[in-house]
Structure 1
Amino acid sequence: MKAVYLEAPGKIYMKDIEMPASKPGHAIVKVKSASICGSDVGAYRGHNVLVTYPRILGHEVAGEIFEIGPNDKGLKKGDKVILDPYIYCGKCYPCSIGRTNCCENLQVLGVHVDGGMAEYFSHPDHLLHKVPEDMSWDLIPLAEPLTIALHSIHRGQVKAGETVAIIGAGPIGLMAALVALEYGATPILIDILEARLDYAKSLGVTHTVNPSETNVVEAIKDITGGVMAQVVIEASGANRAIRDTLDYASFAGRIVFTGWPKADTELPTAMITKKELDLRGSRTSAGEFQEAIELIYSGKINVEATVSKNVSFDELAQSVADQSDTPEKFLKIISVF
């Protein structure tokens, strides 16, 4: 079978590999669709220190169960599923309290272990989530990045009527803004790419701010009547943006760090104390897949709006390189096999 093979940073191609073997507790999935994540691009660039090479990429993956044994979820051959790509041990302290995304031994598909950009893939059956039979293959993989956005909203405990400042209008930031709207909150989307902000406006995000053109603090003051944002979600990973979260947050506000910075950021802790801010990490997701599937299937969240390009399976490897070379052109690239 074929797979998207990352031999080393900057060296990616389609490769023939062996079919996965059957093993207890795992299902073999015939992969039907996959989308490219920023972490795939980071692995291609060699920027993700967690990635080992060579590596088969892909963690935003959907397919049809090809082979499965007895399982606790009642899954059967032919079921449409999406893969939860975060393999946890179930034994450490975070796992014991249900925060499996913080597992001390976490293995992420396409990062620590081979991913699912292949014609067939073996995966633990308890990490498969069934989706409606009439759900489109080109939407299903997008439930995974939606879980990341949902997790950031949940970590921020976003409530109806609150203002949520979201830094970064990439796929996660845009989805977080759409979720905030669905939750009855008011998102303010912040990005230096005006085209992305204009696109967000076309999807119903009324408040957008470009830091290269506008004083963001003053803009948030105007929008909130001086209160500032009760929740700030940092989804860019930029060090300057991480520092700016403290200025954007209200007194007694909550700050959620979703982006992955490449270096440490110095923060004025006196401001954290003065405002009594809650600073929270938000890593991957835990328990959000069913909500993500329902939000997409019901049409409440238009994840299709994040898709910039559809490609064939044979074009996936080159598409990772293309997204790396011209990231401003793409939100999500998706392939239906």
Structure 2
Amino acid sequence: MKTGMYSSPKTVTAMTVEKPTIQENEALVKVAYAGICGTDMMIYSGQHPRAEAPLIMGHEFCGVVEDIGQGHDFQKGDRVIIEPLLSCGKCAACKAGQAHVCANLKYIGIDQDGGFTEYATIPIDRLKYLPDSVADEAAALTEPLAVAIHTVRRSSLKVGDTVAILGAGPIGLLIGLIAKEAGASEILISDVSPYRLKIASDLGFTPVNVMNKSIVETVKSYTDQVGADVVFEVAGNQLTADQMIDCIKFQGEIVVVSVYKKAPTINLAAMHFREISLKTTRCYSPDDFTKAINLLEKKTFDVSLLISHILPLDKIEQGFQLMQNTQSSLKILFQP
């Protein structure tokens, strides 16, 4: 079968490998589409703390059941979405019903082979039915949509709130869509990429190019100098770590979504004097993932607007190179 293999930092190669066979409680899934995530870029750059080469990356994917054992609800030919979290079931978080913050959490596509391939073996309990009305391309964005749902649900966002989102990548834009559904009256989103900010504008958000305009001053101008009710930090650098505090109002809430490669300096004194709350968020719960599927089924919004490229798997190297240029890429899908 065709596959895209991560073999060393900055090296992903299209190759042919033997088609896998299923073990007990596994299904063989013929992959329809698989998307590149920021975590995949971290692996590609050699900066991920767990992922080891050789590895088939990809944890945002959907497909069709090709083979499965007897005694399961799924059948050959079923369209499915993969929920890629692998929790231990034994730690305190798992026992408390919070498996997404499992002390030993692993991922399909990070800790074991994932979706950048023609066929993938998947634990059957990680399969979710894909409704007939959801196109495969949209289904490939279920996982990042679940991240956005979890993020907004973790926040204290109220109807009529003003929201600032720092970072107009796929997750930032999806958070904007969910915040809008949750009742945000004004959504400002910042980035350095005119390409991504144009998409933000098309989605109904107020774009702020921080190369020529201050996100802090813009937020204040929209809020009578008070500040945003909720700030979502989705860029993961020192600049946005500073901006998130300067953008927020007194007793406002900051939600940090980014996984920082380098620990930032945080001005806790500035937060202290205005009683600012700080929350963090990690991936999503099973309920968030189900809600993501439901929103796609209802066609609440068109996530396909976030797809900038669809490439065949033999162009996997090109896909990763394109993904490094935020001026011309957003969500890149591979079609094996």
Aligned AA for 1:44? Y
Q: Secondary structure at the match of 2:52?
A: coil
**What CA distance in whole angstroms lies between the structure 2 residues aligned with 1:67 and 1:208?**
46
**What CA distance in whole angstroms lies between the structure 1 residues aligned with 2:318 and 2:199?**
26
**What CA distance in whole angstroms lies between the structure 1 residues aligned with 2:68 and 2:101?**
28
Q: In the alignment, which residue of structure 2 is the partner of 1:249?
A: 248
- Aligned: 1:174 with 2:167: no
Aligned AA for 1:26? E
- Aligned: 1:330 with 2:329: yes
- Displacement of 1:46 in angstroms is 1.6
Q: In the alignment, which residue of structure 2 is the partner of 1:32?
A: 32
Moved more, 63-72 or 215-224: 63-72
**What CA distance in whole angstroms lies between the structure 2 residues aligned with 1:266 and 1:112?**
30
Q: In the alignment, which residue of structure 2 is the partner of 1:282?
A: 281
Decide whether the 8 Å contact of 2:196 with 2:326 is kept in 1.
no
Cα deviation per residue 1:281-327 (whole Å; 9 max; x = unaligned)?
11222221221122223221221011111112322343123323x33
Unaligned runs of 5+ in 1: none
Aligned AA for 1:302? D
Q: In the alignment, which residue of structure 1 is the partner of 2:316?
A: 316
Unaligned runs of 5+ in 2: none
**What CA distance in whole angstroms lies between the structure 2 residues aligned with 1:201 and 1:11?**
35
**What CA distance in whole angstroms lies between the structure 1 residues aligned with 2:87 and 2:220?**
42
Q: In the alignment, which residue of structure 1 is the partner of 2:58?
A: 58
Moved more, 170-179 or 131-140: 131-140
**What CA distance in whole angstroms lies between the structure 1 residues aligned with 2:109 and 2:192?**
29
**What CA distance in whole angstroms lies between the structure 2 residues aligned with 1:122 and 1:270?**
50
- Aligned: 1:118 with 2:122: no
Query: How do 1:89-168 residues align onto structure 2 when only pairs under 5 Å count?
Result: 89-168=88-167
Q: In the alignment, which residue of structure 1 is the partner of 2:292?
A: 292
Decide whether the 8 Å contact of 2:195 with 2:328 is kept in 1.
no
Q: In the alignment, which residue of structure 2 is the partner of 1:8?
A: 8
Q: In the alignment, which residue of structure 2 is the partner of 1:193?
A: 193
Decide whether the 8 Å contact of 1:28 with 1:65 is kept in 2.
yes
Aligned AA for 1:56? I
- Displacement of 1:240 in angstroms is 1.5
Aligned AA for 1:129? K
**What CA distance in whole angstroms lies between the structure 2 residues aligned with 1:65 and 1:235?**
34
Provide the aligned C-alpha RMSD in A.
Answer: 1.8
- Displacement of 1:24 in angstroms is 2.4
- Displacement of 1:71 in angstroms is 6.5
Q: In the alignment, which residue of structure 2 is the partner of 1:17?
A: 17
Decide whether the 8 Å contact of 1:13 with 1:318 is kept in 2.
no
Q: Secondary structure at the match of 2:178?
A: helix
**What CA distance in whole angstroms lies between the structure 2 residues aligned with 1:328 and 1:98?**
41
TM-score (norm 2): 0.93
Aligned AA for 2:27? A
Aligned AA for 1:204? G
- Displacement of 1:233 in angstroms is 0.6
Decide whether the 8 Å contact of 1:65 with 1:78 is kept in 2.
yes
Aligned residues: 334
Q: Secondary structure at the match of 1:310?
A: strand
**What CA distance in whole angstroms lies between the structure 2 residues aligned with 1:242 and 1:71?**
51
**What CA distance in whole angstroms lies between the structure 2 residues aligned with 1:327 and 1:113?**
28
TM-score (norm 1): 0.93
Aligned AA for 1:9? P
- Displacement of 1:216 in angstroms is 2.4
**What CA distance in whole angstroms lies between the structure 1 residues aligned with 2:36 and 2:144?**
10
Q: In the alignment, which residue of structure 2 is the partner of 1:268?
A: 267
Moved beyond 3 Å, runs of 4+: 69-72
Decide whether the 8 Å contact of 1:26 with 1:122 is kept in 2.
yes
**What's the % identity of the aligned pairs?**
34
**What CA distance in whole angstroms lies between the structure 2 residues aligned with 1:62 and 1:301?**
19
- Displacement of 1:70 in angstroms is 5.6
